[in-house]
Amino acid sequence: LEQASRLDQRYLDPELLQTILTRSCEAKAHVVSKDEKEAGLRAILNYGHTIGHAVESLTGYRLVNHGEAVAIGMVAAGQIAVELGLWTQAECDRQHALIQKTGLPTQIPAELDVEAIVATLQTDKKVEAGRVRFVLPTQIGAVKVTDQVPSETVKQVLRQLQ
């Protein structure tokens, strides 16, 4: 995918899509079976969901679908990780480019207000003691779960994505 100038049409082949989806489901099931209580490993499945859920909620679950919202959330989480020194800008840019090649959105819908997104984050199921937990990348395929993300950093990144 990284070498392709755009999403290759062969990825739309039903047999290949079935294989990709099957492997994805198997990988998810493996993670869930290793961490049924969401104590650690399973958190990786929430990558992109914190901001993604806020975007979904604020658009009434109509303007963007779940996958699109998670893609936007992944872009935001990646940039937040860069701002916190957890991830390199080069890796963040690589992820951004890959998401763009799939045709998924990487920008927050223009009609959404940054302050409203930040307020909606407080309603996320992962909020503990008033602190939003983010799943942030530290490298491709590895994440860190943290509630140590300044609100101003979140706002700054969200403004960049508008």
pLDDT at 50: 95
**CATH number for the domain formed by residue range(s) 46-160:** 1.20.1090.10
- Both tokens of residue 24? 């994805």
pLDDT by residue (tens digit) across 122-158? 998 878 888 999 999 999 888 999 999 999 999 999 9
CA nearest to 112, candidates 103, 121, 104: 121
- pTM confidence score: 0.87
Instruction: Give the long-range contacts of residues 64-72, CB within 8 A, separation 24 or more.
Output: 64/105, 64/109, 67/104, 68/104, 68/105, 71/99, 71/102, 71/104, 71/105, 71/106, 72/48, 72/105, 72/106, 72/107, 72/108, 72/161
pLDDT by residue (tens digit) across 2-55? 555 555 655 566 787 788 778 888 988 988 888 776 667 777 888 999 999 999
pLDDT by residue (tens digit) across 89-101? 999 999 999 898 8
Q: Kindly state the DSSP code that residue 42 receives in the 8-state scheme.
A: G
pLDDT at 3: 56
Per residue in 36-51, is it b (16+ CB within 10 Å) or e — as a string?
Answer: eeeeeebbbbbbbbbb
- Partners of residue 134 on adjacent β-strands: 146
